[in-house]
Amino acid sequence: MSAFNNLLTPAQEARLRALDAWHRVLENKQLRMDCPDAYHDELVRQSDEMDRLGIVTWNEWRDLRMQADQAYLRAVAGADYQVGSNEKAARTDHVHR
């Protein structure tokens, strides 16, 4: 089935791969919990590299950086730990009923 071959240009494929890699880091809960600084640094590094290569526009770069900063602030505030605590409390509460 060659109907689906070459649907994207090489530039579009590179953009999708780069954005996918960035989002995989954004969703990497283990890195975020273990080392929020390294987590943020990697998001910023990838954002800057996409900008340097012209993969994203300035507005997209800014939005990625803002998402990275917001995720970092949530990470250092312990948001991942709070969610786990709430889930554990909900499971415990359910058992005691």
Place of tokens 């058992």: 95
* Whether residue 96 has pLDDT greater than 90: no
Place of tokens 């340097």: 52
Average pLDDT for residues 35-60, to the nearest whole number? 98
Domain presence at residue 7: no
- In the numeric block, which tokens belong to residue 79? 């948001």
Q: Which domain holds residue 52?
A: 13-96
More confident residue, 65 or 7: 65
Domain presence at residue 1: no
Domain presence at residue 2: no
Neighbouring CB atoms inside 10 A of 81's CB total 11
Q: How high does pLDDT run on average in the chain?
A: 86
pTM above 0.75, yes or no: yes
What are the DSSP calls for 17-47, one per residue? HHHHHHHHHHT-HHHHHH-HHHHHHHHHHHH
Q: How many domains does the chain have?
A: 1
What pLDDT score was predicted for residue 94? 43
Domain presence at residue 3: no
* Whether residue 28 has pLDDT greater than 60: yes
